Amino acid sequence: MMSRTAYAIMIVFLLFIQQVISGCSTTVTKSLQKDNMHKTEVDLVSRNLYQSKCVLCHELPKINEYTSDEWTSIIDYTHDTKAARKFITIEEAEKIKSYLKSM
Ligand code: HEC
| DSSP label at residue 64 | G
pTM: 0.71
Structural domains of the chain, count:
1
* CB hemisphere CA count around 66 (13 angstroms): 16
Residue nearest to atom 16 of ligand 1 (CA): 78
> What domain range includes position 77?
4-102
Residue nearest to atom 7 of ligand 1 (CA): 57
Dihedral sign computed on CA atoms, order 51, 102, 41, 96: negative
Residue nearest to atom 43 of ligand 1 (CA): 57
Ligand 1 binding pocket (C-beta < 6 A) is 53-54, 56-58, 61, 74-75, 78-79, 83-84, 87-88, 93, 96
In angstroms, the CA 68 to CA 101 distance is 4
Which stretches of the chain drop beneath a pLDDT of 70?
1-2, 23-34, 37
Report the SS3 class of residue 74: helix
pLDDT tens digits, residue range 45-66? Answer: 999 999 999 999 999 999 999 9
